[in-house]
Structure 1
Amino acid sequence: MSNGKTKTDIPFRLDRLPWSRWHVLVVVALGITWILDGLEVTIVGVISDVLQKPLRWHCRHLRQVSWVLLLNRGSRGSYRFLLPHRQVREEEALHDHLGTYIVGTVLSAFSFNFASIAVFRIITGLGIGGEYSAINSAIDELIPARVRGWVDLAINGSWWVGTMVGSALSLYLLNPAFFPIDLGWRLSFAVGASLGLAVLLIRRYLPESPRWLLVHGREEEAKEVVSEIENKVSHQTGKELEEPNKTLEINPIGSVGFGTVFHSVFGRYPKRAVLGLWLMAGQAFLYNAIFFTYALLLSKFYGVPVDQTGLYIFPFAIGNFVGPLLIGKLFDTFGRKPMIAFTYIFSGVLLAITGYLFMIGVLSAITQTLAWVVIFFFASAGASSAYLTVSEVFPLEIRAMAIALFYAVGTAIGGVAAPSIFGALIGSGSPVNVFYGYLVGAILMAAAGVVEIAFGVKAERKSLEEVAAPLSEVIENPY
């Protein structure tokens, strides 16, 4: 391990690489976990009605179903803080988090009462929460700066591919004509766990982040990894790589603890801290309120049978997936601030209008779904940009911890309460009560867009080290 100050061009060597098959491997190996999460979360949302059936131990009240969702969301982001002082490589962290997720998902398939499924969903949430921080950190550190925004949004948006798969599976696995009602949802979890094992095999081909190695004093290892990456990219693209014209001087400090994280986030970058919290909380409330009670809404107000819910969730998922793909490039060209502000504010306005139409009773299950497709075409890009923002506007040494912090706090503020609140509002059977809930979500989204206008960071096409200087560098005005 090297000691003292080090002058390096490693970050800029990674940023100047042309797009290649190696980058595609990175996207697949990391992004597929979002697909898995989308799959199993969709299953939990869809079976919310099944869990209320009077069969043995099943939850008999919407409040209990909402608590299952709440505990899963509330546990996310916590895992990253369990081992804050360990010199854990990002590569090892990814395996640990995914392993925890797989264990929780397998156990969920064998749930035997309300308490057991609640505990197992907490375990699943711990694993996937750790994945969120590790994945977004790894994406930013390995993907070239000029396309970092679009790739990050596309990977985060791939969550909805899992939703499409989950909704399609529900049409078959939750249909009593094919499987007993107490077996189909268990098999759904088993599918997710099996795919998780496949991901572990794919990730063997991913290298450790050279940036992580660099700030942990492993400069020689970082150079070797970068050289291997450059050789692969050059061979795959047939292009001769130009030498970067920038260098960075750092003094490796290794792993950091809670004190350093909180001081850096809230002391050094207070405006960015406010920005990250608003973006995370706004999108967390919106998604947890709408998506995780979608099956309940369709069943309660439109009489849609549980085994047909997937037909309505599928197009909803398509809108969420296509949004970041089609407009994601604008976050790298037109800019972060205008695009993030627009997607948040516009989706908030559309949500308020749709909520009003729902309240006055002019929507059907189909038109309600079409409205959600339009809203979340924009909201999905905005929500993905929240993860992008908190993953690139803080120093490299605390990036993964910062992502976990903002995800955990943002989810606690805007996401933990949402399923329970909306479960109660939908359970009341009053469209007016549900509208008030939608209105709160709309206000939170629009307010987050305003905060972006005030405190947003112009991070497009910039190296991570230019967006937020490493902790070893001393600067007078970091913002």
Structure 2
Amino acid sequence: MNHSVNAAARLDRLPMGSFHRRVLQLVGLGMFFDGFDNSMGAGVLAALVKNHWSTIAMNAHFISATFVGLSIGAVLSGFLGDRFGRRFAYQFNLLIFGVSCVLSSLATSMDQLIILRGIMGIGIGAEYVVGYSTVSEFMPPKRRGRALAIVGLLSMSGGFAVYLVSTQIIPHFGWRPMYIIGGAGALWVWYMRRKLPESPRWLEKMGRTEEAERVLAEIEREASQGGAVLAPVPPALPQPARWVPVGVLFAPAARRRTMLALLVNLGCMVGSYSFISWIPSFFVQQGFTVKDALTFSTIMTFGNIVGPTIGIFIADRLGRRRGLIYAAVWCAVAGLAYALQTNIYAVVACGFLLITGITLAMALGVGGYTPELFPTEYRFRGNGVAQMVGRIGVILSPYLVVKLFHAYGTGAVMIFIAALYVTMALCLTLFGIETNQRSLEAVAPEPESATSGMAIQENQPSLS
């Protein structure tokens, strides 16, 4: 029995039930506080500029330090998750950003805060890779897109919640309590998540069949409670235990997937952070008070809830690839409309629409599409490398945003963002790989081809 664990087929046949809801809840909570801590910088930086603790230039260093950490965390978690397991990776990262977030509340200078932010970024960056990749390995194909969109909603909800909390906390108590709230929440989830099981897909690929069988048996037992009859298990496919080097990402069979993942992560992340991270600071620079800036930003960032919510309804209907194309076009149009507005209410309305599109693209692209492109053996590393490249793009983007803003105003920043999304939409239309309603193993390239460098044939997608 241990030689025919058949983890993929056994997991994919299960109906959504209490086990899947528990995975979504615990991973989603971690993603919520990940989004909370990651988005916290925007309101904090506006307050630091207002009280002369920081400047726009130092804020750029803070944001870039964040993304240095996010880049390291993304690629590090990819290697740790593929080598030592999913459980090790998702507990390790929560501990890092929880502890460093609490310590940030004690910083005595902007330099200290920047250093701690970089360390915090390692944990935050790892959580993005680990959370989405882990969920993708447990969910059945027909509900995988919806499940990943739910995780995206919880992650983006953290970004919205931080604005709601900051409008009440920062004007009255300063910025330090924000770090205590974010850090305590992350450490609480770290404690709660210790009982999540290891991925049977990964255990089988690593040759740990007895452990895979035990985990699968427990999942199946829970799924059959209440008299539910499980579907028959399809015949087992050969699943050789193996470790593949990271160079497989650039072998002919996987190269197209890797390029797509790099494109999606670069476009989504740079487009998102080039706008969302700077909203309060731009308002403050234009003469608004910190409270007004946070209020306007909170209204606009309600799109953090609306975007992923739309994703929940379309992820398994349109598919992640086609939905991402439409979201990218939406972002380009909304960004250009934002640049043309002069009335503050129109600005806020267009900003809300832009953030809705941005977060929909993040949920479908970074959260849903990227992990599906890679097989179990190197899913975490493929996702990690793609997110690392996206984060590196964001490390450089604050300096470009500042230069464009000072030289040409907000309109130039919006044109830059629109161009990013148009490029992404075109490339996905021409070269994208469809993953919707397919098992992860059916989407994956042939193992022999991926490791030997032999090319495989992939059908060109269509939007029909």
TM-score by length of 2: 0.91
CA distance in 2, matches of 1:101, 1:247: 40
Q: Which amino acid aligns with 2:435?
A: A
Is contact 1:250–1:473 with CA below 8 Å preserved after alignment?
no
Residue 229 of structure 1 deviates from its aligned partner by 0.6
Matched positions, count = 451
Q: Deviations over 1:378-408 (max 9, x none)?
A: 3322122222222011121111111110001
- Residues 1:447 and 2:428 are matched in the alignment: no
Indicate which of 101, 120, 125 corresponds to 1:124: 120
* Separation in 2, partners of 1:46, 1:325: 24
Q: 8 Å contact 1:160–1:318 — kept in the other structure? A: no
The match for 1:203 is 193
What does the per-residue CA deviation read over 1:303-337, in whole Å, with 9 as the maximum and x for residues that have no partner? 33213333223333322222222243323122333
Partner of 1:295: 280
Task: State whether structure 2 residue 432 is matched by structure 1 residue 456.
Answer: yes
1:19-58 aligned within 5 A: 19-53=16-50, 58=53
CA distance 1:80–1:47, change in 2 (3 Å):
closer
2:462 matched to which residue of 1?
none
Rate the CA distance shift 1:22–1:376 in 2: closer, same or farther, 3 A: same
Q: CA deviation at 1:437?
A: 1.8
1:138 aligns with 2:134: yes
Matched, 1:332 2:311: no
**Preserved CA contact (<8 Å) 2:23 2:196:** yes
CA distance in structure 2 between the aligned counterparts of 1:20 and 1:131, rounded to whole angstroms: 24
Assess if the C-alpha contact under 8 Å between 1:336 and 1:457 holds in 2. no
Counterparts in 2 of 1:334 and 1:53: CA distance versus 1, 3 Å: closer
Write out aligned runs for 1:24-423 (5 A): 24-53=21-50, 58-59=53-54, 61-79=55-73, 81-82=75-76, 84=79, 87-175=83-171, 178-179=172-173, 184-235=174-225, 238-254=227-243, 256=244, 260-301=245-286, 303-355=287-339, 357-358=340-341, 362-364=342-344, 366-387=345-366, 388-413=368-393, 415-423=394-402
TM-align CA RMSD: 2.2
Deviation at 1:447, TM superposition (A): 0.6
**Which structure features the higher share of helix residues?**
2
Q: Report if the CA contact (8 A) 1:171-1:307 is conserved.
A: yes
For the 8 Å contact 1:63–1:424, the answer to whether it is kept is no
Deviations 1:152-173 (Å, cap 9, x if unpaired)? 1221232221123211221222
The one-letter code matched in structure 2 to 1:65 is N
Deviation at 1:420, TM superposition (A): 2.8
TM-superposition CA deviations, 1:206-249 (whole Å, max 9, x none): 1111011011101121111011011112216x421011224221
Once the two structures are superposed, residues 271-309 of structure 1 have per-residue CA deviations (whole angstroms, 9 ceiling, x without a partner) of 2222112111111111111111000122223x3321333
Q: For residues 101 and 152 of structure 1, do their structure 2 counterparts lie closer, same or farther at Cα, with a shift above 3 Å needed?
A: same
Q: Which amino acid aligns with 1:242?
A: A
Q: Is the 8 A contact 1:159 1:321 kept in 2?
A: no
Q: Secondary structure at 1:174's aligned position in 2?
A: helix
Distance 2:189 2:336 in 1: 39
In structure 1, what is the Cα distance between the partners aligned to 2:364 and 2:116? 29
Alpha-carbon distance in structure 2 between the residues aligned to 1:309 and 1:234: 52
Q: Aligned letter for 2:333? A: V
Shift of 1:445: 0.6
Deviations 1:392-436 (A, max 9, x none): 1112111111111000112212x122223323444x2x6x43211
> Per the alignment, in what secondary structure is the counterpart of residue 36 of structure 1?
helix
CA 1:54–1:344 in 2, change beyond 3 Å: closer, same or farther? closer
Contact 2:64 2:396 in 1 (8 A): yes
Closer/same/farther in 2, CA of residues 139 and 339 from structure 1, 3 Å limit: same
State the alpha-carbon separation in 1 of the partners of residues 318 and 370 from structure 2.
Answer: 19
Question: How many Å separate the matches in 2 of 1:275 and 1:87?
Answer: 24
CA distance in 1: counterparts of 2:360 and 2:40, whole angstroms: 23
Cα deviation for residue 18 of structure 1 reads 1.1
Task: Read off the aligned partner of 2:109 and give its amino acid letter.
Answer: N
Cα contact 1:12–1:244 (8 A) shared by 2: yes
User: Counterpart amino acid of 2:280?
Assistant: A
Check whether the contact 2:99–2:187 (CA below 8 A) recurs between aligned residues: no
For 2:411, the equivalent position in structure 1 comes to 435
Task: Please give the per-residue CA displacement for 1:445-469, whole angstroms capped at 9, x wherever unaligned.
Answer: 1110111111211111111011104
Q: Tell me which amino acid in the other structure corresponds to 2:307.
A: G
How does the TM-score come out when normalised to structure 1? Answer: 0.88
Q: Residue 31 of structure 2 contacts residue 131 of structure 2 at CA under 8 Å; is this kept in 1?
A: no
**Contact kept? 1:146, 1:461, Cα under 8 Å:** yes
- For the structure 1 residues 289 and 450, does the alpha-carbon distance in structure 2 shift closer, same or farther, using more than 3 Å as the test? same
Does structure 2 retain, via aligned residues, the 8 Å contact 1:99–1:127? Answer: yes
How far does residue 100 in structure 1 lie from its aligned partner after superposition?
Answer: 0.8
Structure 2 Cα separation of the partners of residues 247 and 125 of structure 1: 41
Change (3 A) 1:385 1:344: same
Q: 1:46–1:435: structure 2 CA closer, same or farther, 3 Å change rule?
A: same
